[in-house]
Amino acid sequence: MTGPGRSAVVRGPITGTRARIITWLVHASVVIIALRAYRSPRMARRSLQHIKQLNGTMRGGEHGQKYYRCGWRLSWTPTVPQWPSRPFVRFVETILDRVQPFRPDEVRLGGVVLAVSSRCPLACEHCLEGDNLGAREHLAIAELEQVLAKFRDLGVVQVFLSGGEPLMRCDDVCRLIAGAGPGIEFTLLTSGVGLTAAKARQLRRAGLRSVQIALDHWDEGRHDRFRGRVGAFAWARDAAFNAGQAGLLVGFALCAVRDFVSRENVWRYLELVRSWGGAYVRILEPHAVGRYAGRPVGLDPLQLSLLRAIHDEVNTDPAWAHLPRLSCPDHDRRTLGCFGAGNRLVYADSRAEVHPCPFCRGSVGNALTGDLAAMVAGMRRAGCGASRPAQGFPQTLAN
């Protein structure tokens, strides 16, 4: 337990001149990757100009000079693999291929949210996997390995391990990560339950790079009620400490429900997770799926505007450079289009059923028994039913 007497590992961001040098080096590495991919300076320049334009749209004016160290690698957003690394190279190649193909007739997928467990000790108010949760796992470890191998064959470079609670089968998770090879980067999406110091070190040795901890309020009692279990807040706090001590990058996910969204609550939340060593916060809007199905849980326009204003302030004002970086995926989806439905990623639930994303449910087939490439190609043709697909496969490649 971290407790009052133990502080979390707080790694301040790299900013200023050092960050500007890093940005130049990242950009230079992207240029080299493009030149190797196209073997034509003209084609490489055309694709890079397109990506630069899209990056500017995504950043929305961010000052951007903020990096976090994870071992000898650097991170600036959870949606891009850490740099420098083989997954980063493969990631850039996939983006370039979507902008201007150099690998024709290949179905390539950037990432997958993979539910590896159907068990969870919590009873979260908003659980997406409520229908699949149970006392036993739907898939054996050998079946999970088969599913992961199929995604690897499609070029996946980022795997976000979810559940249920993935730590309910920590040994299996370590086996998956260790057996995947060096070309894939893994992030653990967890409530923090059971992430002891020993498990954090075990996961790091297996090859895990980062954890994203679900924390839904700065107030301990309110978070515990939302998660349906007394002690959930303490588990999240201890998980952040243990992950940081093990050398893992620590980020947080906030489900910003109506009762939470106020400037005071968001600001207190950011200061808390900064003290816990958080490098970033993903602000997720509630959706009427899972246990929220059929309920009017969406945020109103004023709340959406407030979240975006805080996002812009934290990410653009150098006075707040010490705070974790913010991202608002739902805002990006409304502005730029959907990255799911095979465009950027897909979601595979704990039965290996493939869905466009965690929030847009509707299985297109089973990844274990079906033709995964055909499923992804079909989703791309059909597009996302909730919003238009993002064009040009935009990603923030560098700050």
Return the ∠ at Cα 148 (arms to 143 and 151), rounded to 5°: 135
The stretches in the chain having pLDDT less than 70 are 1-11, 54-65, 104-105, 107, 341, 385-399
Domains held by the chain: number: 1
Mean pLDDT across the chain: 88
Instruction: Locate 106 and state its tokens.
Output: 């290949």
Nearest one of 336, 390, 325, 380 to 356, comparing CA atoms = 380
Residue whose pair of structure tokens reads 């407790």 in the numeric block: 3
Q: Please report how many Cα atoms fall inside a 13 Å half-sphere around the Cα of residue 53, on the Cβ side.
A: 10
pLDDT (tens digit per residue) in 196-237 = 999 999 999 999 999 999 999 999 999 999 999 999 999 999
- The CA–CA distances, whole Å, from 135 to 44, 140, 150, 290 equal 52, 14, 27, 18
Domain with 120 in it: 1-399
**What are the tens digits of pLDDT across the range 141-173?**
999 999 999 999 999 999 999 999 999 999 999
Whether 243 and 195 have beta carbons less than 8 Å apart is answered as yes
239 and 211 Cβ atoms separated by less than 8 Å: yes
| Dist CA 231 CA 390 (whole Å) | 40
Q: How far is Cα 237 from Cα 218, in angstroms, rounded to an integer?
A: 11
Phi, psi of 264 (to 5 degrees): -60, -45
Asked if 44 contacts 101 with a C-beta cutoff of 8 angstroms, the reply is: no
Q: Is 70 helix (H, G, I), strand (E, B) or coil?
A: strand
| Angle subtended at Cα 82 by Cα 76 and Cα 85, rounded to the nearest 5 degrees | 150
CATH of the domain at 171: 3.20.20.70
- Return the pLDDT at 6: 52
Task: Provide the pLDDT for residue 380.
Answer: 84
What's the pLDDT score for residue 64? 54
